[in-house]
Every structure is written in structure tokens, then in C-alpha cells.
Amino acid sequence: MTTPPRAALLPLLTAMAGLSLGIAGLWLGVTEGAIALWGFGVASLLQVPPALSLRGRIQDGLGNSGLERERRTLRTVGFLQRFLALGLAMAAISALLGERMPQGGLSALGVACLAVGCIGLIWYVKQGLKGIHPTLDLDAARTRSLLDLSVLLLLGTLLGRWFPWADAVFALALALRLFFEGRTLAKATTLPVACGGCGSGCG
């Protein structure tokens, strides 16, 4: 199967963005005690393995070579996303019930703005690849999910400057989105083989 040259570049950009935003979000979130921020950071890091796995499949022509590896990767990431959602929800509820309301500062706002801009651009470009292959459609959907999380993070960080409870409330929203995304990834482990017979897509 012939794919546009940018198809192999986009997963690499996704992995780089996930790694950079993930490290920044996790570090700042833990340092500043911002629950939504560290939750987003971990969620971003979880996007790296599927992106690298997809890049390998694209380089192999999106055939069946590497398909089972991608299924295992998605299954594992889906489980970790639901586990993260549980931990995030527990931390948010604990903050809401306690006296301390953590919130991010200007650095957190900067990370949130950068995340919306970078991920939004990557998702927009990936929209141009929809319909070429089901795997690319699923990749675009995963990026859209991360974009949703970054928008929630930005809203929570902005409102947190006036309402101390905003970080915990939006962390709960992130947890809910992560949980459903984890379920979706689990279903995506039934990725189809490249072809019915053995044409050019078979690996």
C-alpha cells in the first residue's frame, strides 16, 4: 500500500510531542501540585508507544507485519489509561474533599497553551490521511483524544486562576475522558489484517 510521505513523519512528531509535553507536564504537575497537569503529562507519555509502533507499520507498508505488536501495544496502553484515570479521579476527589486546592501557575498555563497548539496542528494534518487505511483513522482518533485532554487542561488552568477548585474538577473530567479512551483502545485491538487474499498489503 502506498501512503503519503508525511504519513511516516506524523507518528514521529506525535511521539516527540508526547514525550516533550509529557515530561514537562508531569514534572510541573508534581512540582506545583497541579493534578490535571500531571495527569495530562502521563497521558501524553502513553501516546509515545502507539505512535512508534504505527511508524514501524507504515515503514513496512501498513501490511500485516507488526500488526500483532500494535495490538499488544494498544491493549497495554488502554489498560494503563484506565488505571491512570482511576488514580487521577482518586487524587481529584481527595483534593475536593480536603482543604488544599492545588493549582498550576504561569508555567502550567504555558504548557497547556503549547499542548493545544502542537497537538491541534498534528491532528489537523492527520485529518488529511483519513480514509487511506483504518489504522491511520484510529491514529487520528487517538490524537483527537489527546487534543480533548489538552483543551480540558487549558480550561482548568485558566479557571484555576480565579477558582481554586477548577484544577480538581477538570482533573475529574480528564479522568473520565481517559477511561473511555482506554475502553476504545481495548476495542481497537481487533485491528483488521491488511488484505483478504495476499496482495501487496500482506506483510
The answer to whether residue 141 scores a pLDDT higher than 50 is yes
Please tell me the predicted confidence (pLDDT) of residue 7.
Answer: 84
- Taking residues 142-146, report their average pLDDT: 95
Condensed to tens digits (0 to 9), the pLDDT of residues 60-118 reads 877 777 788 888 899 999 999 999 999 999 999 998 888 666 666 788 899 999 999 99
Please tell me the predicted confidence (pLDDT) of residue 197.
Answer: 36
Please tell me the predicted confidence (pLDDT) of residue 105.
Answer: 75
The answer to whether residue 194 scores a pLDDT higher than 60 is no
Condensed to tens digits (0 to 9), the pLDDT of residues 34-74 reads 999 999 999 999 999 999 999 888 888 777 777 888 888 99
The answer to whether residue 186 scores a pLDDT higher than 80 is no
DSSP annotation of 163 reads: -
The answer to whether residue 6 scores a pLDDT higher than 70 is yes
pTM: 0.88
Residue-averaged pLDDT of the chain: 86
Q: CATH assignment of 6-190?
A: 1.20.1510.10
Set of cell numbers at residue 56 = 514501524
Whether 50 contacts 136, CB under 8 Å: no
CA-only gyration radius of the chain, Å = 18
Domains of the chain, by residue range, sit at 6-190
- Taking residues 148-159, report their average pLDDT: 94
% of the chain exceeding 90 in pLDDT: 56
Both ends of the chain: CA-CA distance in Å? 11
Taken in order 117, 123, 127, 128, the sign of the CA dihedral is: positive
* Measured CA angle at 96 (ends 92, 102), to 5 deg: 70
